[in-house]
Homo-oligomer: A and B are copies of this chain.
Amino acid sequence: MSKKLYHGAAYYPELWNEEAIEEDIKYMIEAGINVVRMGEFAWSIIEKEEGKIDVTFFVDMIKKLSEHSIETVMCTPTPTPPIWLTHNHPERMYVNEDGKTMIHGSRQHICTNNHYFREKAAIITKEIAKAVGDHPSVIGWQLDNEFKCHVSECMCETCKTLWHEWLENRYESIDRLNEAWGTHIWSQYYHSFDQIPQPISTPFLHNSSLKTMYQLFSYEKIAEFADEQAEIIRKYSTAPITHNSTTFFHVDNERLYKNLDFASFDTYAEQSNFAAYLFNCDLWRNFKKNRDFWIMETSPSYSASLESHAAPHPNGYLKAEAVAAYALGGEAFCYWLWRQQRTGCEQPHGSVISAWGKPTVGFENVKEVEAARKEIESIILSSKPLQAEVAITYSDVAKAFMKTEPHRNLDYRSLVVEFYEKIVKAGYHRDLLPEGADLQGYKLLFTPFIHNVTQDYRNRAEDFVKGGGIWIVGPITGGRTEHHTIHTDAALGELDQLASVETLFTYPMDGTESTGEFMGKAAPLSLWSAIFEPKEAKAVGMISEGISKGKAFMTEHSVGKGKVVMLGSLPTEESGEQLLINCLNHYAEEANVVVKTNVTEGTIVVPRQGSNEVVWVIVNMDGNGGSVTIPHDAVNGITGEFIPKGKYEINSYEHKVVSFQKN
Contact = CB atoms under 8 A, between A and B. Distances in A.
Interface of A: 12, 14-15, 20, 41-45, 48-49, 77, 80-84, 87, 94, 96, 98-109, 150-151, 181-191, 195, 197, 199-211, 270, 301-302, 304-315, 340-345, 347-348, 350, 354-358, 360-361, 404-408, 483, 485-491, 504-508, 510-512, 528, 531, 547-548
Contacts of A512: 311-312, 314
Given A104-B188, A185-B15, A486-B355, A208 B83 contact: no
B405 A508 contact: no
Contacts of A191: 49, 83-84
A405 B108 CA distance: 21
Nearest to A341: B185
Contacts of A49: 191
A41 B106 contact: no
A187 to B, nearest CB: 4
A504 B358 contact: yes
Given A308-B407, A312-B508, 15 more contacts: A44-B183, A45-B187, A103-B201, A104-B188, A107-B203, A108-B203, A150-B204, A183-B343, A188-B344, A311-B512, A342-B488, A348-B528, A350-B507, A356-B487, A356-B489
B407 A348 contact: yes
Nearest to A509: B312
Contact of A87 (B151, B195, B201): B195
6 contacts: A44-B188, A45-B189, A81-B187, A208-B306, A309-B528, A355-B488
A361 B182 CA distance: 24
Given A187-B80, A203-B102, A207-B343, A356 B486 contact: yes
B106 A312 contact: no
A495 to B, nearest CB: 12
A61 to B, nearest CB: 14
B44 A189 contact: yes
Contacts of A82: 187, 189
Contact of A361 (B12, B100, B344, B505): B505
Contacts of A203: 94, 96, 102, 106-109, 150-151
A208 B344 contact: yes
A310 B41 contact: no
Contacts of A100: 98-99, 201
In order of increasing CB-CB distance, the 6 nearest A-B pairs are: A311-B511, A182-B343, A106-B202, A44-B187, A205-B345, A150-B203
A360 B185 CA distance: 21
Contacts of A483: 343
A205 B313 CA distance: 25
Nearest to A209: B343
A44 B189 CA distance: 6
A258 to B, nearest CB: 26
A408 B309 contact: yes
Contacts of A350: 507
Nearest to A82: B187
A307 B205 contact: yes
B270 A208 contact: no
Contacts of A84: 191
Contacts of A508: 302, 304, 309, 311-312, 348
Nearest to A410: B307
Nearest to A101: B201
A4 to B, nearest CB: 30
Given A188-B83, A508-B309, A199 B105 contact: yes
A486 B340 contact: yes
Contact of A354 (B80, B310, B491): B491
A80 B360 CA distance: 53
